[in-house]
């Protein structure tokens, strides 16, 4: 049987397959659009990330460059510093060696001179004993002219005592008053080798030194190395100090000491002309270098330290030196030492004290 309303079967099949096709196409379209969007998003994201990482890489490279620059600058600066340090160390070593050589050669020369002088005076004595009248009188005259006022004071009273002369250079300074107080308390007299450039700042202290029996020595006006000056230069440097001292205390310094212990014939001639001896030292406490009371005392009481007739070098411009001095004095007193000025020490231990001669001890 056949119905009129019914659609032929092959048509029905055709419609259904068309529907499927449409559906499939629609799905494909959706899929394609989705995939497209996804890939566009992915491409954009990737591009963005690449851009960011490129920028970061650039920044890192820049920073690394900067770091390298800073590092190379630093290493250059470090190299320069090391070089400078080495140069300075070398210079210091050279200077120290020079100073040591100079002082040892000076000491040796001085010893030789002293020995020669001894021999000469012995020979003179022998000649005098033999009774060669004219020579003897000439010798006596010469001796009198070069001898520092040894007859005016009783130097012999220290003959049988252990004596020591404490000396203070480069002052007066802010600690000198405390030093003077402590010395007065202990009944001790010392010698102050003052600088002319400083005395006008402490006129009262200078007068006090003089009044309390300390000796005032000339240590030059500006602490220049005298061996580098002409005879006129030496005179001007030393006289400037002497004049200032005289203006304050009423008399010139009675002894002198060369800055750095450095002297030559011209310096000796100046002292000779002034009628004063040059007083250096045999015990160096190195107080200016260490600025430590314990070290000062250690050196003062070492094997090569203070003995009878010693002249001790210190500087009253350092506070630890003042502390060390008091401890030193107390200890030396217990050992029976008597404290004298440099002039007293020289006259007590030398039969004659010669102007212009360098003395290192009594």
Least separation in angstroms between residue 315's CB and Ni ion is: 7
Residues 179-198 vs Ni ion: string with x where CB under 5 A? --------------------
Give the residue, chosen from 158, 164, 170, 226, that forms a contact with Ni ion under the rule CB under 5 A.
Answer: 170
Q: Note whether 237 binds Ni ion by CB under 5 A.
A: no
**Helix, strand, or coil here: 262?**
coil
Say whether the peptide bond before residue 107 is cis (omega within 30 degrees of 0).
no
Least separation in angstroms between residue 318's CB and Ni ion is: 12
Catalytic residue of the set 280, 315, 318, 350: 315
Is 169 considered catalytic here?
yes
Q: Which stretch binds Ni ion (CB under 5 A): 36-44, 106-114, 154-162, 254-262?
A: 254-262
Q: Note whether 284 binds Ni ion by CB under 5 A.
A: no
Q: Is residue 122 a contact partner of residue 328, using CB atoms and an 8 Å limit?
A: no
Is 347 considered catalytic here?
no
Residue nearest Ni ion (C-beta atom): 169
Positions 258 through 277 that interact with Ni ion (CB under 5 A): 259
How many angstroms from the chain centroid is the CA of residue 169? 16
Structure tokens at 223: 């602490």
> What one-character-per-residue DSSP string does 280-347 give?
--SEE--HHHH--HHHHHHHHTSTTS--TTEEEEEETTSHHHHHHHHHHHHHHHHTTEEE--HHHHHH
Catalytic residue of the set 169, 170, 284, 287: 169
**Residue closest to 261 by CA, chosen among 115, 104, 146:** 104
Q: Which is nearer to Ni ion, 158 or 202 (CB)?
A: 202
Please give the C-alpha separations between residue 307 and each of 98, 121, 257, 272, in angstroms, as whole numbers. Answer: 28, 26, 21, 28
Give the residue, chosen from 155, 169, 252, 322, that forms a contact with Ni ion under the rule CB under 5 A.
Answer: 169
Residues that bind Ni ion (CB under 5 A): 169-170, 259
Question: Any idea which residues carry the catalytic annotation?
Answer: 169, 315
């Amino acid at each position: 049987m056949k119905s009129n309303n019914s659609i032929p079967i092959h048509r029905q099949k055709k419609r259904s397959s068309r529907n499927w096709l449409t559906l499939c196409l629609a799905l494909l379209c959706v899929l394609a659009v989705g995939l497209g969007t996804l890939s566009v998003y992915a491409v954009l994201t990737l591009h963005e990330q690449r851009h960011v990482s490129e920028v970061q890489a650039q920044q890192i490279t820049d920073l690394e460059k900067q770091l390298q620059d800073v590092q190379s600058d630093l290493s250059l600066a470090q190299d320069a510093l090391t070089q400078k340090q080495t140069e300075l160390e070398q210079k210091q070593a050279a200077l120290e060696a020079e100073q040591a050589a100079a002082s040892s050669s000076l000491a040796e020369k001085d010893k030789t001179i002293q020995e020669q002088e001894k021999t000469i005076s012995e020979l003179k004595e022998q000649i005098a004993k033999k009774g060669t009248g004219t020579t003897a009188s000439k010798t006596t005259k010469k001796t009198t002219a070069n001898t520092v006022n040894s007859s005016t004071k009783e130097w012999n009273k220290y003959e049988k005592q252990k004596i020591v002369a404490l000396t203070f250079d480069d002052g007066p300074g802010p600690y000198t008053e405390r030093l003077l107080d402590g010395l007065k308390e202990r009944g001790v007299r010392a010698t102050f080798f003052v600088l002319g450039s400083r005395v006008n700042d402490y006129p009262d202290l200078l007068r006090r030194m003089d009044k309390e029996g300390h000796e005032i020595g000339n240590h030059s006006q500006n602490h220049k190395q005298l061996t580098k000056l002409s005879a006129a230069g030496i005179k001007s440097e030393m006289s400037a100090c002497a004049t200032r001292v005289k203006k304050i205390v009423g008399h010139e310094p009675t002894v002198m000491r060369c800055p750095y212990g450095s002297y030559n014939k011209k310096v000796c001639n100046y002292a000779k002309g002034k009628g004063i001896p040059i007083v250096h030292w045999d015990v160096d406490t190195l107080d200016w270098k260490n600025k430590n009371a314990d070290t000062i005392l250690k050196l003062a009481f070492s094997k090569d330290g203070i003995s009878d007739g010693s002249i001790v070098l210190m500087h009253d411009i350092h506070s630890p030196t003042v502390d060390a001095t008091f401890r030193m004095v107390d200890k030396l007193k217990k050992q029976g030492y008597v404290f004298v000025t440099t002039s007293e020490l020289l006259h007590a231990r030398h039969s004659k004290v010669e102007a212009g001669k360098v003395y290192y001890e009594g």
